[in-house]
Amino acid sequence: MVSEKKIQNRIKELVKEIKEHNQKYYDQDLPVITDFEYDTKVKELGYLEENYPHLIFADSPTNKVGGTVSASFQKYKHQVPMLSLANSYSKQELLDFDARVKKTLLKEVNELEDLTYCCELKMDGLAISLIYEQGVLVKGITRGDGKTGEDITENIKMISDIPKQLLSKVDVEVRGEVYLEKDRLIEINKQRTIEGEAEFANARNAAAGTIRQLDSKIVGERELSFYPYFVVAAAEHGLVVQSQMLEWLKQQGFQVNEHYIAKANISQVIAYCEDWEKKRDSLGYEFDGVVVKVEEFKYQELLGTNMKTPKWAIAFKFFEEVANTVLEDVLYQVGRLGTITPVAVLKPVELSGATVERATLHNSDFIEEKGVAINDEVVVKRAAEVIPAVVMVSHRSENRKEIVFPTECPVCGTLLKQEEDNVAIYCPNIKCKGRLKAQLIHVVSRDAFNISGIGDKLIEQMVEQEVVTDWVQLFELDSEKLSSLERMGEKTVTNILSQLEKAKSIGLAKILFATGIKQVGVRAAELLVSSVSSYNDFFSMKVEEFSEIDGIGEKTACLLKDFFESERARELFRYLEEHGFNFEIEKNISGSSLLNKKFVITGSFDKYSRSELTDLIKSHQGIVASSVSKNTDFVVAGDNAGSKLQKAQEFGVQVISESQLEEMIKI
């Protein structure tokens, strides 16, 4: 028999571990174990506390929701606590939940013929509460610790899915989930790489990190989404069941997730959960399970809550699609701004239908947090289009070798640096060959100069043989220099030279993006160009003038000012002008048939590339957005259209082909 002292020590150990994991998940948005492992610890603690109630700690995490409240925001006390959900992972646990519900209710009522459930997808985001007075949005609050949250009203107002005014002039509190679509996560991580910042590990981290930004402009730029799932005191608004409440929210102007089922029995609930577990990658956003709720509000009230969770709801969590393998080595990549990214070299493993041999380790802080070492067995996750990533250590090897982050650049040997407010470690040597290779890859990419024929292998040759020592020297290449490189036939050389000459007329916005100014992506470059009459204006603009441009934040404005004050910038633009680059700012307007119509492009096309379709739409004064929302007018869909097509169908957005677009502008 286990001694009470050992039980007490185990409870103490679990309380400490769970508190640490709560802080990492809720406050730092950096979980270091999987949801399943976390839930296993919580269940073990709950079991021990139930059987040894005299050993319960007063501050046990089983009686507390979420994390802490940040000092960066004002506190706001919830009138009704924001609870979390009990989790389940199996059919049997759902059957047990159904049995508990019926057993409890039969103590209060004689029969349960009308007992049914409503099932909704469990979004992987950040829970918030919205307070409306007379139908007008007045407050946006985070969950916080369940009792007190953070006032994030100004940030909430930047999310287009959240109505600022309801259809009815009612006083109501609506709760729901802020989340980020997969496509947006990919775009944001690309931009963060450009800016020399660490990528977000997943969509939830990105959403949570965004909503806690002190600059609301950043929130607007990242295009977060929102789905509501709960109305506080719903009965006061004449609502009787959960699914009726969802319809009422839709009528008030909210986007409601349509993938719910109403008035289901437990067999239908289980079938729904199993079906969506198979289809978990079919939508354009992350959802990690299904929330099962008792439909009837009268029964929800009778069932009540405990200190942390409602007794009338449970989450069915999906097992994450992961694989275990051995971390054999770590390589270090140098980005074009010098950022050093550790890459795990893995023993090859099959995951999501592909063989995975490399995975990101994000940055030095991530390695330290996870306690990863060479020769350890690790868990690797690969979700949709996001590159594989190491999630955690599953088994510590006896011959584990600590990962020591380099102090010198792995390419040029320069002493590495780290900015005070940035986790990224970088090489400051602007002549570093690693930086140059990454910069050249960026320069020839589709969104920059769009030079086909110059791939990674050719760039490797040019840099190593010092044919090019600065990216602008691409435009000094001639037949002799190119022909001296391996596998460069006459036709290939001619094509590359033609592409380089053509690139000189791409326009100022793409030149700005290609230049590699920190924090200036494609959209920011377009916004900058649309605000000036000549590129020379940039050299005399103040920080305040940059930040006044809609979509340009204060940090980006400071970086722009620093760049255009530098001698490098003046030399660069002087060089480009001398070599025949066209800096004229052409509006390139061919017509106005698409004036102010908002388009999203997805898939591949026969006649146009996606960038050509973008230019075509803009030339007729249309607007091209990166993600589908309720404000999108048309989605132009080609072959192999992805999650954006699904989103268009959810929102009822009109889907057109490239030929139908041509009809609209009468080509």
Alpha helices by DSSP H, 345-396? 364-370
Q: How many CB atoms lie within 10 A of CB 452?
A: 11
pLDDT band at 589 (very low <50, low <70, confident <90, very high): low
The answer to whether residue 653 sits within a structural domain is: yes
Residue 568 has pLDDT above 50, yes or no: yes
CATH (domain of 272) = 3.30.470.30
CATH (domain of 46) = 1.10.287.610
Residue 403 has pLDDT above 70, yes or no: yes
Among 643, 623, 641, 635, residue whose Cα is nearest residue 661: 635
Q: Which of 169-173, 525-529, 638-642 has the highest mean pLDDT?
A: 169-173
**Are the beta carbons of 245 and 231 closer than 8 angstroms?**
yes
Alpha helices by DSSP H, 4-111? 4-22, 35-51, 91-105
Q: What is the mean pLDDT of residues 575-588?
A: 79
Strands (E), 55-180: 75-77, 87-88, 117-123, 126-133, 136-142, 148-150, 172-179
305 and 335 fall within a common domain: no
Tens digits of residue pLDDT in 156-190: 988 888 999 999 999 999 999 999 988 888 888 87
335 and 412 fall within a common domain: yes
Lowest mean pLDDT across 52-61, 329-338, 453-462: 52-61
471 and 549 fall within a common domain: yes
The residue among 263, 287, 317 that closes a domain is 317
Longest dimension (CA), the chain: 92
Residue 138 has pLDDT above 80, yes or no: yes
195 and 171 fall within a common domain: yes
The answer to whether residue 590 sits within a structural domain is: no
257 and 375 fall within a common domain: no
Q: Is 263 an annotated catalytic residue?
A: no
In the block, residue with structure tokens 């990919």: 186
The domain of 203 spans 84-317
How far, in Å, CA of 82 to CA of 310, rounded?
10
Among 18, 117, 129, 125, residue whose Cα is nearest residue 63: 18
Q: Do you know the residue count of the chain?
A: 667
Query: Given the DSSP bridges, would you call strands 417-418 and 377-381 parallel, antiparallel or unpaired?
Result: unpaired
The answer to whether residue 332 sits within a structural domain is: yes
Top-confidence residue, 629 or 65: 629
Q: What is the mean pLDDT of residues 633-639?
A: 90
The answer to whether residue 189 sits within a structural domain is: yes
| pLDDT mean across residues, the chain | 85
330 and 357 fall within a common domain: yes
| Terminal C-alpha separation, the chain | 84
**Are the beta carbons of 412 and 463 closer than 8 angstroms?**
no
Top-confidence residue, 205 or 23: 205
How far, in Å, CA of 519 to CA of 103, rounded?
58
Q: What is the mean pLDDT of residues 310-338?
A: 90
Residue 629 has pLDDT above 80, yes or no: no
How far, in Å, CA of 404 to CA of 340, rounded?
13
Token digits of residue 223: 């295009």
What pLDDT was estimated at residue 69?
44
Count CA atoms closer than 13 A to 507's CA, side-chain side.
15
Token digits of residue 522: 């494609």
Token digits of residue 449: 């100069």
The answer to whether residue 19 sits within a structural domain is: yes
pLDDT band at 590 (very low <50, low <70, confident <90, very high): low
CATH (domain of 342) = 2.40.50.140
**Are the beta carbons of 361 and 335 closer than 8 angstroms?**
no
The H or E element that residue 230 is part of is strand 225-231
192 and 262 fall within a common domain: yes
Lowest mean pLDDT across 153-162, 190-199, 399-408, 411-420: 190-199
CA atoms 103, 104, 105, 109: torsion sign: positive
* DSSP letter, residue 545: H
Q: What is the mean pLDDT of residues 270-275?
A: 94
Count: domains in the chain: 5
Q: Please identify which of the residues 41, 91, 102, 122 carries the catalytic annotation.
A: 122
Residue 384 has pLDDT above 50, yes or no: no
Cα Rg of the chain (Å, integer): 28
Instruction: Give the SS3 label for residue 241.
Output: strand
402 and 389 fall within a common domain: yes
| Residue 193 to residues 20, 338, 363, 392, Cα–Cα distance (Å) | 29, 10, 12, 23
Residue 196 has pLDDT above 90, yes or no: no
- Amino acid letter, residue 102: K
Residue 547 has pLDDT above 60, yes or no: yes
What pLDDT was estimated at residue 626?
66
How far, in Å, CA of 331 to CA of 200, rounded?
20
Query: Cα torsion for 173, 177, 178, 184, to the nearest 10°?
Result: -150
What pLDDT was estimated at residue 68?
47
pTM above 0.85, yes or no: no
The answer to whether residue 106 sits within a structural domain is: yes
pLDDT band at 241 (very low <50, low <70, confident <90, very high): very high
Lowest mean pLDDT across 74-78, 456-460, 642-646: 642-646
How far, in Å, CA of 541 to CA of 638, rounded?
42
The residue among 418, 444, 477 that closes a domain is 418
Token digits of residue 333: 């990549």
Among 384, 323, 378, 314, residue whose Cα is nearest residue 350: 323
What pLDDT was estimated at residue 161?
86
Query: Cα torsion for 633, 521, 190, 363, to the nearest 10°?
Result: -140
The residue among 280, 301, 317 that closes a domain is 317
In the block, residue with structure tokens 């931009």: 191
What pLDDT was estimated at residue 549?
76
How far, in Å, CA of 555 to CA of 543, rounded?
9
What pLDDT was estimated at residue 1?
47
The answer to whether residue 72 sits within a structural domain is: no
What pLDDT was estimated at residue 632?
87
172 and 293 fall within a common domain: yes
Please list the helix, strand and coil fractions of the chain in percent, rounded to the nearest 5, in that order: 40, 20, 40
How far, in Å, CA of 246 to CA of 201, rounded?
31
Residue 73 has pLDDT above 50, yes or no: yes
The H or E element that residue 433 is part of is helix 433-443
Buried b (16+ CB within 10 A) or exposed e, 537-554: ebeebeeebbbebeebbe
| Residue 439 to residues 472, 514, 558, 665, Cα–Cα distance (Å) | 10, 9, 22, 37
| Residue 632 to residues 335, 524, 626, 647, Cα–Cα distance (Å) | 35, 21, 10, 11
Alpha helices by DSSP H, 198-352? 203-211, 216-222, 242-251, 266-278, 297-303
328 and 396 fall within a common domain: yes
548 and 604 fall within a common domain: no
Residue 432 has pLDDT above 90, yes or no: yes
Top-confidence residue, 209 or 564: 564
Q: What is the mean pLDDT of residues 563-581?
A: 93
CATH (domain of 604) = 3.40.50.10190
What pLDDT was estimated at residue 63?
62
In the block, residue with structure tokens 């390419």: 411
Among 420, 424, 433, 510, residue whose Cα is nearest residue 466: 433
In the block, residue with structure tokens 């709720």: 293
Residue 311 has pLDDT above 90, yes or no: yes
Cβ neighbors of 295 (< 8 A, separation 6 or more) are 115, 116, 117, 118, 241, 242, 243, 262, 263
CATH (domain of 439) = 1.10.150.20
Lowest mean pLDDT across 93-97, 119-123, 383-387: 383-387
Q: What is the mean pLDDT of residues 28-48?
A: 67
147 and 288 fall within a common domain: yes
Residue 627 has pLDDT above 90, yes or no: no
**Are the beta carbons of 424 and 198 closer than 8 angstroms?**
yes
The answer to whether residue 591 sits within a structural domain is: no
Query: Given the DSSP bridges, would you call strands 654-656 and 634-637 parallel, antiparallel or unpaired?
Result: parallel
What share of the chain has pLDDT > 90, as a percent? Answer: 42
How far, in Å, CA of 541 to CA of 6, rounded?
68
Residue 191 has pLDDT above 80, yes or no: no
Top-confidence residue, 223 or 465: 465
